[in-house]
Structure 1
Amino acid sequence: MFHPLRVRTVERLTDDSVAVTLAVPPELRETFRHKPGQHLNVRYTVDGEEIRRSYSICSPAAEEPADPVLADPVLRVGIRLVDGGAFSTYALKELAVGDVVEAMAPMGRFVLEPRAGRFAAIVGGSGITPVLSIATTLLAREPDAQFCLIRSDRTALSTMFLDEVADLKDRYPDRFQLVTVLSREEQQTGLPSGRLDQDRLTELLPALLPTAEVDGWYLCGPFGLVLAADRALRGLGVDRTRVHQEIFHVDDGPSASARPRVESPAHSRLTATLDGRSGTWPVEEGESLLETVLRSRADAPYACKGGVCGTCRAFLVSGEVRMDRNFALEPEETGAGYVLACQSHPVTPEVELDFDR
């Protein structure tokens, strides 16, 4: 369900990015209480076309209040301009204080509930957005936690949330470690410029911190960086269960498919349960299971339709499907039977999904 939220502020971060703060009315404050690392799915109509996008929340997560009515959650999201991106272009050029944007309740499993321990993140570009919420919340709430942030950006001028990260360094000098790498600009101090590829990370990470003692790694940004960081950590012997990923952008190229490509049957039917109501519909040739549901249920959850955000996650009750791409679900989730409806196509004549589990 989408709820109307009014824009409170629009702050320019860089030439191609802004931070947008959304005001939450009292009756929706519990609905929009978020966990550190979650995102908002927003929709807006531009020139008669409905646009949906997913943006991570950069503000710290508020603690549970004694009186929910007194809670005032701050919803601040970071938006970077994407070439050809309808909503990001609108946000940077036209979105203004007082405008209304519709948003779903915060969601996502790229989260870190504050606890004692040592944690680290490797981020690229706008991948800093959810990690800023994670690090700020963790360090403020848990005095026995440490956080190392390794961030990669093109240039200093293109770096989002410079002041916020600098503030963390000032407030927690003994518990927050910052390492900055610029791919297209030399720094007077710090690491040499260049991309953070697998070989460089394999050499760099053990020199920065004891990799085996890190309780949780958070990788966020473009697919290439996340893949390189994941492979470097695996090569260093880091247990896969300690590595958490969120992809922000995927270029055309290799995909993380759940199963090898299998042709769909000529005639198949989908049964889907959503918000307690079930329906059965024929799957038309070439369409995804999400598209099948949307023909009859406009309230089906989705945002990116690219296998990245995970909004359309559903439980496969029966039958078999193939996924074209999967950049959102962890192996434990696919192993437990979850699929991305936007990327799923039927392999068996009958398929049943449950969006409520």
Structure 2
Amino acid sequence: MLLSIREIVWETADACSLIFDSSFAYEPGQYLTVSTPVGARCYSLASSPFSGSMPQIVVKRVAGGQVSNWICDHVRPGDQLSCTGPAGRFTPSSLSADLLLLAGGSGITPIMSIITSTSGSPALIYANRDASSIIFKDELDGLLPVTHWLDSERGLPTADGLAALILPYREREAFVCGPEPFVAVAEKALQLAGVPDSRIHIERFEPAAVGDIDATVSVTIDGRTHDLPWPAGRRLLDVMIDADLNPPFSCRQGQCGACAVRMTSGEVDLLNNEILEEEDFADGYILACQAIPRSPSISITYF
């Protein structure tokens, strides 16, 4: 679907809200996959579907982030973006329950949607680099008590430190969103505080397919070539892992480059890229953890 931009609001120096000009059905905590000329990326909806406000996403500029930087530099009110979705299951089963919410940086986006949709009394722990990087600071202060964790004051979040903050709320359903390092620490903290895994919910982007193409991929790795089915919307890294290959990877967020592989034929979309530069694309490199198929036949090699 094509969505027109009604308004752009800069929430911080490097994060802006895009407010769309038309409404559509979605659930609190869901996201859209936004396509741009430099790739596609998933962005969570920050608005509530029950408030009557227009749908809203937040785009945070990151170093080397092709899609986020393109949006921040080029998109203006009145422009249109091609989006798929909404998608995702990061939605509470009950919006009247008292929830425990943990967010890091721009991970506040789907959490904000949940906060403004619930009739319960949520508790929020929100980690940021410093006070100037807090997204939705004024809105949050008017909605609920917030426990802020600022790296500039406490250092990076630790499992023990977060666990102490979580303890009073350990009987609640917990929802976690943020960069992968924060998510890993928060998940460990919840376990240390005694929250069972069945009550821990983490946002994982499993995007609607851009172009909705089923493909086959020829993978040359460890001296052998494997022809694999590549279903629409599945990430290349997951396809290879499911086939019992041994592809290198680390962050799974498109931020480290450990999963980079050279594509020798075909086309893909990258849902996020915060590491590859134009010269890398010119040499054929893609990120396996973020690639979904755009043509019916693709070949990649680790040599």
**TM-score above 0.5, yes or no:** yes
Q: CA deviation at 1:301?
A: 2.7
The equivalent of 1:255 in structure 2 is: none
SS at 2:99 equivalent: strand
Instruction: Give the match for residue 197 of structure 2.
Output: 240
Q: 2:39 aligns with which of 51, 68, 72?
A: 51
Aligned AA (1:39):
Y
Counterpart of 1:10 in structure 2 is 8
Distance 1:322 1:118 in 2: 43
Determine the C-alpha separation between the residues in 2 that align with 1:217 and 1:61. 21
How far the C-alpha of 1:148 sits from its partner, in A, is 0.2
Match of 1:75 in 2: 55
| Residue 112 (structure 1) shift | 1.6
Does residue 226 of structure 1 match 2:187? no
- Partners of 1:161 and 1:222 lie apart in 2 by 17
The match for 2:122 among 140, 144, 147 is: 147
Of 160, 170, 179, which aligns to 2:135? 160
Partner residue of 1:301 out of 189, 213, 233 = 233
C-alpha spacing 1:244/1:99, structure 2 compared with 1 (3 Å): same
Matched residue type, 1:62: F
Residue 109 of structure 1: aligned partner: 89
Please report how far the alpha carbon of residue 93 of structure 1 lies from its aligned counterpart in structure 2 after TM superposition.
2.0
* Aligned-partner SS, 2:155: coil
Q: Which amino acid aligns with 2:35?
A: R
Cα 1:7–1:204 shift into 2, 3 Å:
same
| Residue 157 of structure 2: aligned partner | 196
The reply on whether 1:93 has 2:85 as its aligned counterpart is: no
Residue 108 of structure 1 and its aligned partner are, at CA, apart by 0.9
Which stretches of structure 1, 4 residues or more, deviate above 4 A after TM superposition?
279-282, 286-290, 319-328
Q: CA–CA distance in 1 between the matches of 2:215 and 2:158?
A: 47
Residue 128 of structure 1 is aligned with which of 84, 108, 111?
108
Q: Equivalent residue for 2:64?
A: 84
Partner SS for 1:180:
strand
Residues 293-313 of structure 1: per-residue CA shift (max 9 Å, x gap): 48xxxxx336xx587xxxxx9
* TM superposition shift of 1:105: 1.9
- Deviation by residue 1:236-256 (Cα, 9 ceiling, x = unmatched): 2211010011269xxxxxxxx
Structure 1 position 320, deviation (Å):
4.7
Q: Which has the higher contact order (CA 8 A, sep 6+)?
A: 2
What does the per-residue CA deviation read over 1:260-285, in whole Å, with 9 as the maximum and x for residues that have no partner?
A: xxxxxxxxxxxxxx97x9x7846342
Q: Tell me the amino acid that sits aligned with residue 54 of structure 1.
A: C
**How far has the Cα of 1:220 moved from its partner?**
1.0
CA deviation digits over 1:155-176, x for unaligned, max 9?
A: 111111112212313xxxxxxx
CA 122–9 in structure 1, closer or farther in 2 if over 3 Å, else same: same
Distance in 2, Cα, partners of 1:85 & 1:226: 20
Mapped to 2, the partners of 1:293 and 1:92 lie a distance apart of 32
Provide the rounded CA distance (Å) in 2 between the counterparts of 1:343 and 1:221. Answer: 17
CA distance in 2, matches of 1:226, 1:281: 33
The answer to whether the 8 A contact 2:108-2:126 is kept is yes
Partner of 1:35: 27
Aligned counterparts of 1:199 and 1:217: Cα–Cα separation in 2:
17
Instruction: Tell me the distance in 2 between the aligned counterparts of 1:38 and 1:288.
Output: 35
Distance 1:210 1:56, change over 3 A: closer
Shift of 1:147: 0.3
> 5+ residue gaps in structure 1?
64-71, 170-176, 187-192, 249-273, 295-299, 308-312, 329-341, 345-357
Map Cα deviations across residues 82-107 of structure 1 (whole Å, 9 max, x no partner).
Answer: 11112211222221011110000200
Residue type at the aligned position of 1:301:
G
Distance in 1 (alpha carbons) for counterparts of 2:132 and 2:227:
42
Gaps of 5+ in 2: 206-210, 254-287, 291-303
What does 1:219-298 align with in structure 2 at a 5 Å threshold?
219-246=176-203, 281=216, 283-286=218-221, 293=230
Matched position secondary structure for 2:76: coil
Q: How many correspondences in the alignment?
A: 245
Matched residue, 1:60: 48
Distance 1:197 1:306, change over 3 A: farther
Q: Does 1:183 align with 2:151?
A: yes
Higher CA-based Rg = 1
